[in-house]
Amino acid sequence: MAATRFKAFAWLQLVRLPNLLTVPGDPVAGYCLAAGMGFPGRAGWLAAGAAVLLYAAGLLLNDLADLPVDRAERPARPLPAGLVAPGPVWAAAVLLALGGGALACLASPASGGVALALAALVVAYDFKLKASAVAGPLAMGGCRGLSVLLGALAAPAPAGLALAGLGAGLTGFYIAAVTRVARNEMSQEPPGAWRWAPAGALAVGAAGLAGCQGWPPYALALVPACALAFRAGQQATGRSLPLPRVIGYWIRALIFIQIGQVYLGARGSSWALVICLAGIGMWVGNRRLGRLFYAS
């Protein structure tokens, strides 16, 4: 029984369990922005499920691609430690990717096309682009931006598609900044000025919202996100905490970006409050699970 639990824990490490709670909010926010409502329909939830499956598949592929390096630099991780064999991880990644693609196609044909592009970008990042200091962060940001569009294109008659595109851009810009800082996670040196990049990305994004109708609640929701990102930057100074854990703080702040996007898309709908409370619940769950699992 103990061995089974230990193996299950290893699989949860592979899929970065806390991070999974930050994923469904991307397509849900995209759907709400595009449809102009505070509660997604069936297609929106299908898109959210697709995003979670594709994200988990990408994480498994990431560890498979990093296995040679992890054997030297991170021997305690599940694959190099022998807690999980590569064969089952390959099989799980393929099944998760196929399941995500199927759910996206059920959401809408356009979402299925986005899922295909997202899967291709994930593979390109894991096996090629990650090594680049420029292309790597941009690709990872692009993955998160596509996750928002996955939900936006599932919405019926998406009149707010331009607004959803703006939301996808902000999300992608922020995650690209976080990814750039994460390149130093195995270094003993502090990340330098890059540690302020995530907070700076949010500040620039908030300023860019000034011309959008209904932007004040969106910008207000970015205040806690900016505060969390700034606090993470402070904790990265001098490595007061392990950088992989600080990266988790930056990723967690993404939930408040999603809450702001849902509120902006809601156009005053009371359902937005329900979704936002669910988002706060995701944030609390991520925070607690972050004590057990690294996000990077």
CA 242, CA 193: separation in Å to the nearest integer? 17
At 3 the pLDDT is 60
For residues 238-253, b (16+ Cβ closer than 10 Å) or e, as one string? eeeeebebbbbbbbbb
Q: Could you tell me if residue 294 is inside a domain?
A: no
Count of C-beta atoms within a 10 Å radius of residue 48: 25
Q: Could you tell me if residue 296 is inside a domain?
A: no
pTM above 0.75, yes or no: yes
- Which residue's structure tokens are 């693609």? 101
For the chain, the domain total comes to 1
CA 196, CA 178: separation in Å to the nearest integer? 9
Q: Are 254 and 20 in contact (CB under 8 A)?
A: no
Structure tokens at 198: 């995530």
Structure tokens at 104: 């996206």
208 vs 178, more confident: 178
Q: Could you tell me if residue 65 is inside a domain?
A: yes
Rounded to an integer, the average pLDDT of 256-278 is 79
Q: Could you tell me if residue 205 is inside a domain?
A: yes
Closest to 261 (Cα-Cα) out of 148, 147, 172, 177: 148
Q: Could you tell me if residue 243 is inside a domain?
A: yes
Q: Could you tell me if residue 161 is inside a domain?
A: yes
Q: Could you tell me if residue 272 is inside a domain?
A: yes
Q: What is the pLDDT of residues 7-20, one digit of tens each?
A: 888 888 898 888 89
Q: Could you tell me if residue 248 is inside a domain?
A: yes
Closest to 226 (Cα-Cα) out of 182, 248, 196: 196
Q: Which domain covers residue 237, as residue numbers?
A: 2-289
Q: What is the pLDDT of residues 124-157, one digit of tens each?
A: 999 999 889 899 999 999 999 999 999 999 998 7
Tell me the CATH number at 160. Answer: 1.10.357.140
Is the pLDDT at 43 greater than 90? The verdict is: yes
